[in-house]
Structure 1
Amino acid sequence: MQRISEEQRRIRIGRRHLLASEARAQSPVAVADALVALHATDAATVFLSVCARLSDPGVAAVEGCLYEDLSLVRMLSMRNTLFVVSDELAPRVEAANARAVAAKERRTLLKHLKEDGNGLDEHWLDEAERSALAFLDRSGPASGSELAAGVAALRTKITLFPGKKQEAVQGVATRVIRVLAAEGKIRRDRPRGSWTSSQFRWAPARPRPVEETARAQAELALRWLRAYGPATEADLKWWTGWGTRDVRTALAKVEAEEVRLDGGAGAWVAPGDAGPESAPDPWAALLPALDPSAMGWADRGFHLPPEHRAALFDRSGNIGPTVWWDGGIVGGWAQRGDGEPVWRLLTDVGREASTAIEAEASRLSAWVGEARVTPRFRTPLERELTA
């Protein structure tokens, strides 16, 4: 059985994740496809992840894909988390993950409506959704508050968890909008504010082809292996949010090859992908919180020293902005109030690396311009650097 070393795994990140300067992409769609999916819980992360990998980074190119030609799509999918994927891949992600997530969202909302005890049911929800979609057809993109103002049903309030300690009265607008978005009936349009804002407007979504779940899961697993392999069954299970049976079925369907990692653990690669790769020139990167290169595996020990975790993660397990050198995480960075990117190295990487990191910081400043980025999930090191 072929063994793939930790060094080889770090070499693969440089090229396959488009971080080595020689591997940088020409378009945001190429970046999304190379990484399979971009974390989008924090709106700024999408732009920062993409532009770190573009030969000519800029906000306009990413906005054009998200809001003009719609070649990038935001979807509630893996692990019930918001991601951005290419429009071409979106039907497979919908079948592999998003459809089940949407069904769960609908069940949860209907449960809350029933518990409220005021006669709100599936028929009421269907009518509310039809009214919301009709409003968007008439008005064009609208914020959540504008939708609620224009659709009387969305101004309805319900009592959540009645009779329990966490009982609360809330409006249904946000929950109805979330279900419509999860089902791919509406999409997030340009935000109210800059590219760093998550206050999106909503617009009708284009229908997508309906694909078969098992086939879609197999294709998604194969794409993920090409980007993140070698990786363990536990890594794929964590990344997708699938159960063990679905993971094993997908790996078998694509005829994944088993390999050994340093330490003897078994892992998987795409068919024919077990051979060694030559190293690219040494590279540096400043990647945002929740970047796919930091979030692609359940076990990140091959590129993240365990002693760095306390500084770089929040209490919920979200990784903050990271500094990379040649395939490994060596520190963290932040943006100060005056716009200056600052960083702290947690590993002594030498003069060549420090010079390359400074160059990446300058490249980042050039395209970010006047924008200010504060991660949604703040980590100890990021807070220290901005204090």
Structure 2
Amino acid sequence: MANVRRRVSAEERRVRAAARLLRGGGEHGGGAGGAEEVVRQLVALHATDPATVYLSVAARLKDPAQAVPLLDMALYGQPATLTRMLAMRRTMFVVERSFAPQVYAAAGRAVAARLRKELLVFLRDGGGWDEAWLDEVEAEVVAALDGRPESSGAELSKLVPRLREQVVVARGKPYEATQNVASRIIRTMAAEGRIERRRPAGSWVSGQFRWANAEPLPEVPGAAARAELVRAWLAAYGPGTEADVKWWTGWTLGDTRAALKAAGAEEVELGGGVTGYVAAGDTAEVVGGSAPAPEVALLPALDPLAMGWRERGWFLPEGSERLFDRSGNIGPTVWWGGEVVGGWAQRADGAVVWRLLADRGAQVAEATGAAAAVLGSAMGSARVTPRFRTPLERELSL
């Protein structure tokens, strides 16, 4: 007799998401105690927008006001326990340093290889420079950073004059432009793990980082690393489909299927007979009574929870298209349990304002107002404008 796959409903998926990925999850009920715990809970923090990292942590801490000092200590303290790196989908993430070798081998190494290939074409076509020239410049960057605590991009360009070289891109086109080589070279070296981002030049919402030489990452076989990354993703985000895993990682279909098999992923059935996967031994039913009581959470644009799956219809309300920009990036969201019920924004005067797209009763509306006040207090004098603005966020921020 063939094995019968257990069916996981959309409601159960929302319960799982609330228990494992929202404030009530983690090792401590009622909120995490530190930034590392949040990162471990979510596998990786989406870091394309610098503010997302801090606000994602704040939403899950026992004390949201501690997000900035706790995360700064984890990222820039001695020793640092978290690090930024380009990885899945050629996107910037914050991961635990202890897990960075696996993430790099599973996704970052391929990203770095593509960036180096593109950089060599950029230098050849724009300035006539070859790989030998690039090797010399990179060696000068490493030497300039050696013994220095950290340097900004501008400081590096003074220390390594060839970083100030310029090239013309799209020559003869209406959008022809001149670019310095510095940003492309520094970005590629960072993607390869040779240098790393340190403290920002400004506040915690700044995207201008200082740089330092990085400790080499231990070598990890790619196949083993992909299996380990899938195990971590399934434990946090499962169930998910093959398409979800392929999208989140940025892998080929072949690598995705091989990793799911190596990870021992178990099949379940999602709505419409779609095959989903959970971590080995995670097929038991999760019901509402076994999860923390639902809470309101205000999550930032590009939060890992909202960006955890390719298919998101099971947690989105009607009218959710206003929460996304034209490229599919999700803006700030209001969550109740494991579902999105609205969106929020910060006005120029610092006030956090919100709108519910799904009616979940007066209790949820009241809790959203209280959560907005807590978030506004935690943000203090900082003003956050998402890098990818959405229709609802724009409207609320006026």
User: Same-fold call, TM > 0.5?
Assistant: yes
How far, CA to CA, are the matches of 1:38 and 1:355 in structure 2?
29
2:62 maps to which of 55, 61, 76: 55
Match of 1:294, SS? coil
- TM-superposition CA deviations, 1:162-203 (whole Å, max 9, x none): 455554332100010011110111111111111011011111
Match in the other structure for 1:301: 313
- Structure 1 counterpart of 2:158, one-letter code: A
Instruction: Please tell me the residue identity of whatever aligns with 2:255.
Output: D
Amino acid at match of 2:309: W
Query: SS of the counterpart of 1:323?
Result: strand
Letter in 2 for 1:108: E
Q: Distance in 1 between matches of 2:42 and 2:319?
A: 24
Trace 1:338-349 onto structure 2 (pairs within 5 A).
338-349=349-360
Map 1:122-137 → 2, pairs under 5 A: 122-137=131-146
Asked if 2 retains the 8 angstrom alpha-carbon contact of 1:115 and 1:161, the reply is no
Matched, 1:112 2:119: no
User: Within 1, Cα distance between the matches of 2:84 and 2:200?
Assistant: 13
Question: 1:7 corresponds to which residue?
Answer: 11
Matched ranges for 1:278-289 at <5 A:
278-289=290-301
Q: Which residue of 2 aligns with 1:292?
A: 304
CA distance in 1, matches of 2:243, 2:144: 44
CA distance in structure 2 between the partners assigned to 1:291 and 1:166 by the alignment: 33
2:97 to 87, 90, 95: 87
Q: Aligned-pair distance for 1:272?
A: 1.0
> 2:319 is paired with a residue of what secondary structure?
helix
Are the aligned partners of 2:151 and 2:212 in contact in 1 as well (CA < 8 Å)? yes
Amino acid at match of 1:87: R
Deviations, residues 65-106 of structure 1 (Å, cap 9, x unaligned): 111132111000100010011111100000000011001101
Specify the alignment match of 1:177 in structure 2: 186
Cα deviation 1:28-50 (Å, max 9, x = unaligned): 11111111111000000000001
**SS class of match (1:333):** strand
Residue matched to 1:204: 213
Are residues 1:99 and 2:109 paired? yes
- Which deviates more, 24-33 or 286-295? 24-33
Structure 1 CA distance for aligned equivalents of residues 7 and 382 of structure 2: 45
1:24 maps to which of 25, 31, 38: 31
Q: Aligned to 1:377, what secondary structure does the other structure show?
A: coil
TM-score scaled by length of structure 1: 0.96
What amino acid sits opposite 1:10 in the alignment? Answer: R
Could you tell which deviates more after superposition, 149-158 or 227-236? 149-158
Counterpart of 2:95, as a letter, is V
- Paired letter, 2:117: R
1:253 aligns with 2:262: yes
Paired position in structure 1 for 2:47: 40
How far apart are 1:355 and its partner, in Å?
2.1
Q: Report whether the alignment pairs 1:321 with 2:332.
A: yes
Query: Cα deviations across residues 2-28 of structure 1 (Å, max 9, x unaligned)?
Result: 111111111111121142273521111
Q: d(CA) in 1 for partners of 2:30 and 2:6?
A: 26
Provide closer, same or farther for how the CA distance between residues 117 and 369 of structure 1 changes in structure 2, counting only shifts above 3 A.
closer
Q: Indicate how the Cα distance of structure 1 residues 165 and 366 shifts in structure 2: closer, same or farther if over 3 A, else same.
A: closer
| Amino acid corresponding to residue 324 of structure 2 in structure 1 | F
SS of match in other structure, 2:33: coil
Q: In the alignment, which of 226, 238, 242 is matched to residue 229 of structure 1?
A: 238
Whether the 8 Å contact between 1:15 and 1:23 is mirrored in structure 2 is: no
TM-score (norm 2): 0.94
- What is the match of residue 199 of structure 2? 190
Aligned-residue offset at 1:287: 0.1
Map of 1:383 onto structure 2: 394
Which of 87, 95, 119 is equivalent to 1:77? Answer: 87
2:177 aligns to what?
A: 168
1:20, 1:284 within 8 Å by CA — same for their partners in 2? no
Which region of structure 1 is more displaced relative to structure 2, 134-143 or 219-228? 134-143
Q: Is 1:36–1:224's contact at 8 Å kept on the other side of the alignment?
A: yes
On the 8 A contact 2:148/2:212 being kept in 1, the answer is no
1:334 pairs with one of 339, 345, 354 = 345
SS in structure 2 opposite 1:276? coil
How many residues are matched?
385
Contact map agreement 2:22 2:297 (CA 8 A) in 1: no
TM-aligned CA deviation for residue 263 of structure 1: 2.2
Q: Which residue of structure 2 lines up, in the alignment, with residue 214 of structure 1?
A: 223
Q: Determine helix, strand or coil for the equivalent of 1:3.
A: coil
What displacement does 1:233 show? 0.1
Unaligned runs of 5+ in 1: none
